[in-house]
Amino acid sequence: MAGTERIERILIAADKFKGSLTAEQVAGHVRTGLLAERPDLVVDSLPIADGGDGTVDAALAAGFTLHRERVTGPLGAPVTARFAVRGDTAVIEMAEASGLRLLPHRTFAPLTAGTRGTGELIVAALDEGARTIVLGVGGSATTDGGAGMLQALGARLLDAGGKQLPPGGAALRDLARVDLSGLDSRLRASRIVLASDVDNPLTGPTGAAAVYGPQKGAGPADVAALDAALGVWARVLEEAAGSQAAGASRAPGAGAAGGMGFGALAGLGAVFRPGVEVMMEVLGFHPALARADLVITGEGSLDEQTLHGKAPAGVAAAAGKAGKPVLAVCGRLAIDAARLREAGIDTAYALTDLESDPAVCMAQAGPLLERAARRLATDHLL
């Protein structure tokens, strides 16, 4: 990496190490390691996220204000969910209200889990004066196409007898009509940004049920039932929403988070954008990048999935356009050096290079990360 003698200011823009460190903790340990070798460095930290787990934490670390709301969890029981607000912008993480992590251990409900709580978070954000709502989707327990979210916002989903549908994706097979006339009027003056790192359509072999249903406990028969029910949902909601929703079920991101993407695109007129791009913009990444001589990014596992829309790839792409070198830290490295360089990352430092036992890496991630950062500093900053 050329020009290392001129590096005086570093930007740490890393995602969480899932299961061991938040993005803010990752930045703190890297900073400690760097300063142990180069006390004169100026180190800026901007924890980053891609719209999935950790999105609210990243917003809070960037100066957003924490809000809590009691909402309906994925199985119907109340849960306390967090969201973040700064000015008229709110950041909502779907997993806080409708996530897999909220389910009791080994208890899945692929046919009946619902997204009402996510809609209730949107209502709470509107109550706080938000007019731009970033909806980070990922880690969901649901495959209801965002139906519960729209119900919480005032939509009526009716069967042939005029009765409201119960929660869950399977119930959508009985959908006859969608009434959007009761949607919260404040939505018309608001901008909803769907932040996701996946671009699947709603239905079919690459759709929400087929690709992500098994992760939520859906067997083959469940997947078939959910895919068929989502097909009904697509037809009826697009018809109700009018020309703005035409083809929304086939749009990139419609299949995100069990079809939550489709519900937001067709029902709320949301705009789909890659999650990491949205979060970098919201968190103020680009001004911080302009001040830096070098960027350090990373996440728990740097692998092929990283290269397809995850936070480190987005950070590296933006830094590359700005002509800034990029290094990475990670728990494990599962791609070779050539693939890493293709992604715009010069070198990566993995905790597994320091400790071969994955359990120890998880338990001692902080101290090991400081050691990795010291090695990085020795190799590139001295």
pLDDT value for 1: 58
pTM passes above 0.85: yes
pLDDT in tens, 274-328: 999 999 999 999 999 999 999 999 999 999 888 887 899 999 999 999 999 999 9
Q: For 55-276, which CATH class?
A: alpha beta
Q: Measure the CA–CA gap between 341 and 343, rounded to whole angstroms.
A: 5
pLDDT value for 51: 86
Q: Measure the CA–CA gap between 106 and 151, rounded to whole angstroms.
A: 28
Q: For 4-46+287-380, which CATH class?
A: alpha beta
Mean pLDDT over 130-146 rounds to 96
pLDDT value for 308: 82
Query: How far, in Å, are 64, 149, 261, 279 from residue 48 at the CA level?
Result: 13, 26, 22, 7
When comparing pLDDT for 148 and 106, which is higher? 148
Domain boundaries, the chain: 4-46+287-380, 55-276
Structure tokens at 54: 């950790």
Beta bridge partners of 99: 140
Residues above pLDDT 90, as percent of the chain: 90
Residue 177: band (very low, low, confident or very high) from pLDDT cuts 50, 70, 90: very high
Residue 3: band (very low, low, confident or very high) from pLDDT cuts 50, 70, 90: very low
Beta bridge partners of 67: 83
Cβ contact 277:158 at 8 Å: no
pLDDT value for 170: 98
Residue 5: band (very low, low, confident or very high) from pLDDT cuts 50, 70, 90: low
Structure tokens at 155: 């939509």
pLDDT value for 77: 96
Residue 352: band (very low, low, confident or very high) from pLDDT cuts 50, 70, 90: very high
**pLDDT of 4 above 70:** no
pLDDT value for 176: 98
Residue 357: band (very low, low, confident or very high) from pLDDT cuts 50, 70, 90: very high
pLDDT in tens, 156-173: 999 999 999 999 999 999
- Bridge pairing between strands 132-136 and 191-196: parallel
Burial of 11 (0-12, 13-18, 19+ CB in 10 A): buried
Mean pLDDT over 193-207 rounds to 94
Burial of 289 (0-12, 13-18, 19+ CB in 10 A): buried
Burial of 205 (0-12, 13-18, 19+ CB in 10 A): exposed
pLDDT in tens, 63-118: 999 999 999 999 999 999 999 999 999 999 999 999 999 999 878 999 999 999 99
**pLDDT of 244 above 90:** no
Q: Listing from the earlier edge strand, what are the strands of the sheet with 271-274?
A: 65-72, 78-86, 89-93, 132-136, 191-196, 271-274
User: What is the chain's mean pLDDT, rounded?
Assistant: 95
Burial of 72 (0-12, 13-18, 19+ CB in 10 A): buried
Q: Measure the CA–CA gap between 26 and 47, rounded to whole angstroms.
A: 8
pLDDT value for 197: 83
What backbone phi and psi angles, to 5 degrees, belong to 262?
A: -65, -45
